[in-house]
Structure 1
Amino acid sequence: MPTWKELKRFLERDGWELYKQTDHYFYIKRDNDGSIRRTKVSMGSGEIKKHLWQEILKKQLQVTEEYFNSKI
C-alpha cells in the first residue's frame, strides 16, 4: 500500500490542484469532459490502510493502480 506522502506526490505530478489546506490537503482535478474529482490527503506519513486505499483509488482518483504507480 502507498503512503500518504506518495499519494500527495501522485496528485502533484498528475495535475491535481491543491485548493485547501487544514488538517488535511484537499485536491481537485477538472477533467476535459467537465467532470470534477476531489480527494483529501492526510498530513501523516504512514501507510494507507488497504480498504481505504481501494476506495480512494476507485472512487476518488478513478485510475488504475498501474497508472498510479507510474506517476509516483
Structure 2
Amino acid sequence: MFESRRPARQLIEETQAEAYFPVTPYAGVREGWVEQNWGYAEIAYNINMPTFEVVLGNKSPAEAGPDGWADQWRNFE
C-alpha cells in the first residue's frame, strides 16, 4: 500500500527535513482501514489530505489530521 520509505529516510539523512508522512493510493489499504470500513474518501481525508496540508505549509503536523495523526504517522514504519 505504501511505496518504499528508503527515499524518505534518505531525504531525512541528507537534508534538513525532519520527518516524512504518508500518501497512499486507494489500491493499497491496511487491515485497520478495512475494519473501519474506510473507502477512498475516508483514506483521502484521514491519510492523504493531512500530509498535503503539512507539505503545503497550511498546517503544522500537530494541527493536521484527526487527533493523534502526527504521532501515528510521523516517520512511520
TM-score in same-fold range (> 0.5):
no
Higher RCO structure (Cα 8 Å, ≥6 apart): 1
TM-score (norm 2): 0.30
More helix by share: 2
The structure carrying a bigger strand percent of its residues is 1
TM-score of the two chains, using structure 1 as the length reference: 0.31
- Could you say which structure has the larger radius of gyration? 2
